[in-house]
Structures are given as C-alpha cells and as structure tokens.
C-alpha cells in the first residue's frame, strides 16, 4: 500500500527548496514515503518529515532533511531549529524546521550542498566544481 501524499505544492518553503535542490547535476525529484525527495542515485534532501525525539512520533511538515557530515552534527544539534528525523536520523541526517524561525535560504543552500556532496557520485561532484 503506497504512502498517502503528505504535502501540497504551495507548502511554505517547498518551491524554494525545489529550486535549490534541482539545480544540482543529475538531481531529480521523486515522491518517497509521501513526501518530495531529491535524489542523485541516493537521496540528498527531503521536504517534510517526522521526529521521535520526545518518545512520540511527531510530524514536522515544513522542513528540509539533509545528510550531515559527522563533524557538523553536534554544532547543528545545539541549534533548536534542528531535529533528529525519525528513521533517517541514525544514518546521520538532521532536519531544519522552517516553522521554528525565519528561514535563511543561504543556510538551506549550504546544507543541501553539503548533503549532495556526501551522497553524489564523485563524477557529479567534480562536475559541480567545474573540474
């Protein structure tokens, strides 16, 4: 049974995230678990998610979830806008909740860029860098 669709195209921040994510070499959008996911062989960003940090599953409908380098994880977790996503958290992912503060789109761009570089094939990272 497929997951129900859990977003609308006019959700806050989705258009901006699409513009950022789909600007990367070979990036594609696919619906995954009812939410927009951005892929390049592997997923590098997702709009919307959930957390189980309080022991109860809670939806975080307006956010970006990204893979984070281990060296940045602790510093980002100290910021209360970030959360550990259910299911993806153990694999090094964090979510940035768009509803907790004004969104800094340059920060989102940097997070998506770092996540892309962690999961994309080397040839695409070289293409991104113009090498």
For 111-131, how does the pLDDT look when each residue is reduced to its tens digit (9 = 90+)? 999 999 999 999 999 999 988
User: Which structural domain, as residue segments, surrounds residue 19?
Assistant: 14-126
Total domains in the fold of the chain: 1
- Residue 54, pLDDT score: 82
- CATH number for the domain including 61? 3.90.1150.30
pLDDT < 70 regions, the chain: none
Q: Does some domain include residue 28?
A: yes
For 1-131, strand residue ranges (E) read 28-32, 35-40, 42-51, 58-67, 82-83, 93-97
Q: Residue 9 falls within a domain, yes or no? A: no
Where do the H-state alpha helices sit in the chain? 14-21, 70-77, 105-119, 122-128
At 128, give phi and psi (nearest 5°): -60, -40
Asked if residue 118 belongs to a domain, the reply is yes
CA-wise closest residue to 46 among 25, 56, 58, 60 = 60
End-to-end CA distance of the chain: 44
């Amino acid at each position: 049974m497929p997951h129900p669709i859990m977003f609308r195209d006019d959700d806050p921040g989705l258009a901006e995230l699409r513009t950022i994510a789909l600007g990367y070499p070979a990036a594609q959008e696919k619906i995954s678990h009812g939410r927009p996911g951005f892929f390049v062989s592997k997923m590098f960003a997702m709009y919307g998610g959930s957390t189980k940090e309080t022991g109860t599953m809670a939806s975080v409908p307006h956010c970006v979830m990204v893979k984070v380098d281990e060296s940045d994880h602790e510093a980002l977790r100290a910021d209360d806008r970030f959360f550990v996503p259910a299911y993806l958290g153990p694999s090094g992912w964090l979510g940035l909740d768009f509803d907790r503060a004004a969104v800094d789109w340059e920060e989102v761009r940097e997070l998506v860029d770092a996540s892309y570089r962690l999961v994309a094939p080397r040839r695409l990272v070289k293409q991104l860098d113009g090498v």
